[in-house]
Structure 1
Amino acid sequence: MITTGITPSFVRGAAELETTARGLRPHRLPTWVRTRFPDPQLLMAEGQPSGVRLVLTTTAEVLEVVVHPSRVVYRGADRPRGSLDLVVDGELLQSDELTGGSYTEVDMSTGAGSLVDGPSHVGVFRGLPAGPKVVEIWLPHNESVELVELRTDAPVLPHRSDKPVWLHHGSSISHGSNAATPSQIWPAVAARAGGVELHNLGLGGSALVDPLTAQVMRDSPADFISVKLGINVVNMDSMRLRSFVPAVHGFLDTIREGHPETPLVLISPIFCGIHEDTPGPGAFDPASFGADQVKFIATGSPDGVAAGQLTLRVIREALASLVSRRAEDPNLHYLDGLSLYGAADAESHPLPDALHPDTVSHRLIGERFAEYAFADEGPFGQVNAAETVS
């Protein structure tokens, strides 16, 4: 077997790569953001490499990748491990569930945590198709990893793509919560269908109209952009209507400083029954502790809407109105999240934890977004066609 060190040239979808004692740790937000605002939830989310992948060309038929995972475990809640996905020439062929690594075990009742160390993980993929091919190893969306090395039975080279880049920001749903494996999160599904390169800034618990995130998006290369806002603002009860609408205007204005004419889609929240008409804050449902599936509840009161508290219904109306009042921007588009996953979908494919879609629903959302955005007459269709032709 040939051993190849993992260098930045193999990595796609990360903002930065931190050098560690073991190798490289992908980050989805740059150092300056992590330094200015070292919020624990944000740091955990950006350190989980959702949408980040190793991309290479090779004739190898056996491939091993060594990584060292790090994760957070909640006592009493058995959450699935992350996975490495093998995608060859655009097709998902194999998934490898992580083992070992380091983890912090958190007591949900007290918030106290303890660190446990374990061995690195070796992902083994055999039976790859013969001949030259483009291989992608999608990194786990729900665990941080350090990239150590590749082992193959034939040489590997980094692969560079000329596909257009889609930059997306959203909440834990865009991050991939409840999807089984990293290439099955809805932005990855949509990116494959649209034939584009994904740069995913889905940040679990952290889509809070942060100016820092808007500045990162302003400075990131992108051929088209989407922003999905609402659910985190509601389930953290972090804003009132009066502050939310101007904040979104400012968020979009910042992006436009770097991308004045790039097609941009503002997406409102998908259906979530607990928050449709009930404000946050959201919380773990104590009645579900110790069960197979921990669930979420809304702890606010519908009466709070009159005082400016936000629900998903209020946010959808506000975002639709906001886009209509920015008519001077012909490349700004509004997409109602209910068209991606609505009340009828919740009946046939319920949210397992009352907040996040499962793998089937991630695929549904991704396919529907691709049908909307990458259609010939869609907001990304003409740009995609132009890039493809060129």
Structure 2
Amino acid sequence: MSHTVPLTLEHVRGALRLEPTARGVAPHRLPAWALAQAADPQLSMVEAQGAGVRIALRTAATSVTLTAHRTRVTYAGAPARPDGSIDLVVDGEVVARRRTSGGTTTELDMATGIPTLIPGDDLVVTFDGLPAYAKDVEIWLPFNETVEIVEVSANAPVEPPASAGRRWLHHGSSISQGSNAARPTGTWAAVAARRGGVELQNLGFGGAALLDPFVARTMRDTPADLISVSLGINLINSDLMRLRAFRAGMHGFLDTIRDGHPTTPLLVVTPLHCAIHEATPGPGAFDTEALAEGRLAFKAVGDPAEVPAGRLTLETIRAETTRLVTERQAGDPHLFLLDGLTLYGAADEAAHPLRDSLHPDADTHRFVGDRFAHAVFAEGPFAG
């Protein structure tokens, strides 16, 4: 007998809202009012991608089936992007993986910005051979694709599982979302969450971690036991603001979070090492020479001579963030700072280069997650 899983936030964890669609529901990681304030196609795309979103069940079923429709973005003339991945986790252990297929593909012409829609079929994934005792089952959705959930069914009754632990709310850029990781449970944030035994709410937004007030208000209003933010790289490669605005914006962002979480442990993580932006401002751009060689890579095109006038680099953002957090710690004993270079520094980039000059590969995601878990969950501000 088939038992259908209710598509509610009790079962779809890591989403903040579920949008009803003609097929089923689409998980979102931001509220609709926030997207309306942004009016930004990039943010609208990435917040609908399922970083940290998983379907959670308590069941004795030996077979679970997910029917879904994915939407993905590719770039004409660029190297083919790999299909997304769906992971099955049973009682905390990753036990199976399936590649996504079909769905709707939007192919963007990088020269003109004109999209071409390529339709495809729904995806049906069945995980068989599960142990026939009551267990916690999670189906982790792709971190880099939009997935509409059409139906989830099992061959035994299902119920929502108990919470796996403290709720960790994290906000960052594409690296936090998972860019270039191999699977949804392999992003550094997912690795760290599993090591730390916490429930992850991932607000990592590729290209869109921009000190937006509506993200701070969303974090203010989202229940959390632990909060972290990692901001900087998108402010540089978008060339969005100067040092004066960054300082005020960061203060305002943290103030807003504190309005809803006055004593929650709050960790500010400075940016990881990225050679192209260490001393060179943005904006960032596609590396056309790499594209001609069939590789996707990025470069910084700003003028280092303008740094004294306030143009942002990773070096200036780390220094200002450290100064700012240190100032605030005098009146906030629950505010903490982590140097991102201890997670991934210059020596790490030399040994484990950023494949596209901007994002870590799958192995690097894993060791960054392990380092974060050790520094923050095992011994640091989120210990216990």
When normalised by structure 1's length, the TM-score is: 0.95
Q: Distance in 2 between matches of 1:75 and 1:126?
A: 37
| Counterpart among 168, 181, 198 of residue 200 in structure 2 | 198
1:123 aligns with 2:134: no
1:71-150 equivalence runs, <5 A: 71-77=72-78, 78-150=80-152
Superposed structure 1 runs of 4+ greater than 4 Å apart: none
Paired position in structure 1 for 2:350: 347
Counterpart residue type for residue 372 of structure 2? F
Paired position in structure 2 for 1:388: none
Per-residue deviation, residues 66-101 of structure 1 (Å, max 9, x unmatched): 110011111122111111110111111111110000
Q: Distance in 2 between matches of 1:293 and 1:180?
A: 18
1:105 is displaced (CA, Å) by 0.7
Whether the aligned pair in 1 keeps the contact of 2:3 and 2:156 (CA below 8 Å) is no
1:3 is displaced (CA, Å) by 4.6
Q: Distance in 2 between matches of 1:76 and 1:43?
A: 24
Paired position in structure 2 for 1:233: 235
Paired position in structure 1 for 2:372: 369
Paired position in structure 2 for 1:50: 51
Whether the aligned pair in 1 keeps the contact of 2:3 and 2:158 (CA below 8 Å) is no
Alignment RMSD (CA, Å): 1.2
Q: Distance in 2 between matches of 1:241 and 1:262?
A: 28
Q: Distance in 1 between matches of 2:68 and 2:259?
A: 38
1:151 is displaced (CA, Å) by 3.1
Paired position in structure 2 for 1:287: 289
Q: Distance in 2 between matches of 1:224 and 1:154?
A: 35
Counterpart residue type for residue 7 of structure 2? T
SS in 1 for 2:378: coil
Paired position in structure 1 for 2:7: 7
Paired position in structure 2 for 1:357: 360
Counterpart residue type for residue 11 of structure 2? F
Paired position in structure 1 for 2:335: 332
SS in 2 for 1:225: strand
Counterpart residue type for residue 204 of structure 2? G
1:290 is displaced (CA, Å) by 5.3
SS in 1 for 2:142: coil
Per-residue deviation, residues 146-205 of structure 1 (Å, max 9, x unmatched): 111123332322213161100000000001000011111111000000000000000111
Paired position in structure 1 for 2:26: 25
1:44 is displaced (CA, Å) by 0.4
Q: Distance in 2 between matches of 1:42 and 1:201?
A: 11
Paired position in structure 1 for 2:222: 220
When normalised by structure 2's length, the TM-score is: 0.97
SS in 2 for 1:289: helix
Per-residue deviation, residues 99-129 of structure 1 (Å, max 9, x unmatched): 0001111011111111121110011222223
1:130 is displaced (CA, Å) by 3.6
Q: Distance in 2 between matches of 1:99 and 1:119?
A: 8
Per-residue deviation, residues 10-59 of structure 1 (Å, max 9, x unmatched): 11111100001110100000011122222100100111011010000112
Distance 1:23 1:293, change over 3 A: same
SS in 2 for 1:127: coil
Q: Distance in 2 between matches of 1:150 and 1:17?
A: 15
Whether the aligned pair in 1 keeps the contact of 2:3 and 2:155 (CA below 8 Å) is no
Q: Distance in 1 between matches of 2:293 and 2:11?
A: 41
Whether the aligned pair in 2 keeps the contact of 1:171 and 1:207 (CA below 8 Å) is yes
Counterpart residue type for residue 138 of structure 2? E
Whether the aligned pair in 2 keeps the contact of 1:76 and 1:290 (CA below 8 Å) is no
Q: Which moved more, 1:360-369 or 1:128-137?
A: 128-137
Q: Distance in 2 between matches of 1:111 and 1:265?
A: 38
Q: Which moved more, 1:172-181 or 1:147-156?
A: 147-156
Whether the aligned pair in 1 keeps the contact of 2:164 and 2:197 (CA below 8 Å) is no
Per-residue deviation, residues 340-380 of structure 1 (Å, max 9, x unmatched): 1011111111111000001111111111111111124x111
Whether the aligned pair in 2 keeps the contact of 1:293 and 1:352 (CA below 8 Å) is no
Whether the aligned pair in 1 keeps the contact of 2:5 and 2:154 (CA below 8 Å) is no
Whether the aligned pair in 1 keeps the contact of 2:37 and 2:214 (CA below 8 Å) is no
Q: Distance in 2 between matches of 1:186 and 1:51?
A: 11
Q: Distance in 1 between matches of 2:281 and 2:316?
A: 10
Paired position in structure 1 for 2:190: 188
Q: Which moved more, 1:68-77 or 1:218-227?
A: 68-77
Aligned positions, number: 381
1:62 is displaced (CA, Å) by 2.1
